Copies of this chain bind each other. A is one copy, B any other.
Amino acid sequence: MEQININIKHAIDLVGREAYEAVKPEVEAAKRHLVTGDAAGNDFLGWVDLPENLDPTIVGRIQADVARLAPKSKLFVVIGIGGSYLGARMVIEALQSEFASMVRGAHPYVVYAGHTLSEDYYSQLFALLDREDYSVVVISKSGTTTEPAVAFRLVKAHLENKYGRDEAASRIIAVTDAHRGALHEIGVQEGYPMYVIPDNVGGRFSVLTPVGLLPIAMAGYDIDRLLEGARDARRICLSSVPFDDNPALVYAAIRNVLYRGGKKIELMVSALPSLRYFAEWWKQLYGESEGKQGKGLMPHSISITTDLHSMGQYVQDGERLMMETMLLVKKPASHVAVPHDERNLDGINYLDGKSLTSINDCATMGTLLAHKDGGVPVVTIEVERIDEYTLGQLIYFFEFACGVSGYTLGVNPFDQPGVEAYKKNMFHLLGKPGF
């Protein structure tokens, strides 16, 4: 199969090859930390071998739950926040139609809860759930995180009211700790099917556990192919090929070099609106892994050509603090070409018969060159198409590069101490006992 292709030539010109060569030993040392587990955060390295080590019975269990619930569920509610929903949502939104809520397939349409406390959001969600048959997965290591705990209480009450307690229990799956915690205890008492979040895999690295696999399979996508793509990418990331043949090392190196050279913001750029949640997943992965001790590239994203007509002016001519990572996709899944118009009043007959992708590719390359000319270094990461296999490749590639990059930056890429700060204040303001 085609591998991920990284190209740094439009970035390295702006920092010089010497700086890039000089950082390589640090990046190789960072890779060794991941492999040997001899650095801070080494109790959260379970994701490194996950594509190979995943208990093979899990996929079968998931497929059995899909076969049981999909036929009686028009909707599937995924309750989770942060890493408990972003991985699944990223894969599902990349693969489904932009209009999937209105053009339904054989599998349930996935909706999300537990990622917000907006009162109107839940009111609107229940107006929908009143009308359509649904099932639920609740994803939480502890079961006490405020947002998903509140959402699960609400959804569970709605489901029991709609179907009665027994049928409701048969429509709920829990993904949680193997042995302890509130959600584990609720699941045991209620008899929910349960899946395990491994202790050594943090939320933002958990898409290839049941956290991501169950919702992705419920939406109708092939999780075997997803894991296969991840396995193939893992082989390359862990291999001892020359530095420049390992795309994860190249990406970790160039972004650290650009950061040291004064770039403070990294824009994830894609020409496909369906990759919107890919950028959101990536933002958590990199922002939460590296944004500590006053350091790190700030993750940001734009969609082209859409946002060239909103953020494009800033990227071209604003403060010179940005680097860009462009995610390029060679082939679309469908074919649409520009129709001919005899009168040509709009002046675009020179595009007659061209596929939209060929035009979009010229827009993307035109953007790359314009931004480079404007002083924005651009790294490109290219895959053949968007499907389960390539998404699996991208997941593992970006995870591995993130671990390498974080150690190169000099932080522990696997903790997130800053996430507690708002919670402490919130608990105090809410009058939670003990705060």
The answer to the question of A86 belonging to the interface, with a C-beta cut-off of 8 Å to chain B, is yes
Residue in B closest to A183 when the chains form the complex, CB atoms: B346
Q: Is A295 an interface residue (CB 8 A)?
A: yes
A313: B residues at CB distance < 8 A: 287-288, 291-292, 416-419
**Contact B418 A312, beta carbon cutoff 8 Å:** yes
Whether, in the assembled complex, A274 has its beta carbon less than 8 Å from a beta carbon of chain B, the answer is: yes
Interface residues of A in 229-270 (CB under 8 A from B): 264-265
Number of identical monomers bound together in the oligomeric complex: 2
Instruction: Name the one of B294, B309, B350, B428 contacting A433, with C-beta atoms under 8 angstroms.
Output: B350
- Residue A296 CB within 8 A of the other chain: yes
Query: Does A39 lie at the interface of the complex (its beta carbon under 8 Å from any beta carbon of B)?
Result: no
Are the C-beta atoms of B81 and A332 separated by less than 8 Å?
Answer: no
Q: How far is the CA of A123 from the CA of B316 in the complex (A)?
A: 31
Interface mask (A99-138 → B, CB under 8 Å = 1, otherwise 0)? 1011100000001000111111111111110011000000
Which residues of the other chain, B, contact A308 by a CB distance below 8 angstroms? 419, 422
Among the stretches A26-34, A54-62, A333-341, A393-401, the one at the interface with B is A333-341
Q: How many residues of A contact B (CB 8 A)?
A: 133
- Does chain B have a CB within 8 A of A321? yes
Q: Mark A259-286, 1 if CB is under 8 A from B, else 0.
A: 0000011000001111000001001100
Question: Are A117 and B288 closer than 8 Å at their CB atoms?
Answer: no
Q: Which residue of B lies closest to A126 (CB)?
A: B336
Cβ contact within 8 Å between A306 and B366? no
A43 CB contacts on chain B under 8 angstroms: none
Quick check: which of A6-14, A65-73, A163-171, A357-365 contacts chain B, the rest being far away? A357-365
For the complex, is A15 an interface residue (Cβ under 8 Å from B)? no
A351 interface neighbour in B150, B185, B274, B291, Cβ under 8 Å:
B150
Judge if A64 is at the interface, Cβ distance under 8 Å: no
Task: Write out, one digit per residue, whether chain A residues 403-418 have a CB within 8 A of any chain B CB (1) or not (0).
Answer: 0000000000000111
- Does A421 count as interface, using CB distance less than 8 angstroms? yes
Provide the bound-state CA to CA distance between A422 and B304, in Å.
Answer: 10
- Which stretch, A16-24, A139-147, A191-199, touches the partner chain B? A139-147
CB distance from A53 to the nearest CB of B (A): 26
Is A177 at the interface (CB under 8 A from chain B)?
no
Cross-chain contact B314 with A299 (CB below 8 angstroms): yes
On whether A82 and B356 interact (CB within 8 A), knowing A272-B120, A317-B291, the answer reads: no
* A178 interfacial by beta-carbon distance below 8 Å: no
Q: Which of A132, A273, A426 has the most B CB atoms < 10 Å from its CB?
A: A426
In the assembled complex, A377 has its CB within 8 A of some CB on chain B:
no
Known pairs A149-B346, A298-B322, A350-B430 / 12 extra A-B pairs, C-beta < 8 Å: A81-B309, A116-B305, A117-B271, A119-B356, A144-B346, A144-B348, A154-B338, A182-B346, A186-B343, A298-B319, A363-B422, A374-B421
What 5 pairs between A and B have smallest CB-CB spacing? A82-B309, A291-B314, A366-B425, A291-B318, A316-B418
Where the two chains meet, the residues of A that have a C-beta atom closer than 8 Å to any C-beta of B are 81-83, 86, 97-99, 101-103, 111, 115-128, 131-132, 143-144, 146-147, 149-150, 152-154, 157, 182-183, 185-186, 189, 203-204, 264-265, 271-274, 280, 283-284, 287-288, 290-296, 298-300, 303-322, 332-336, 338-339, 341, 343, 345-348, 350-351, 354-357, 359-360, 362-363, 365-367, 369-371, 373-374, 416-419, 421-433
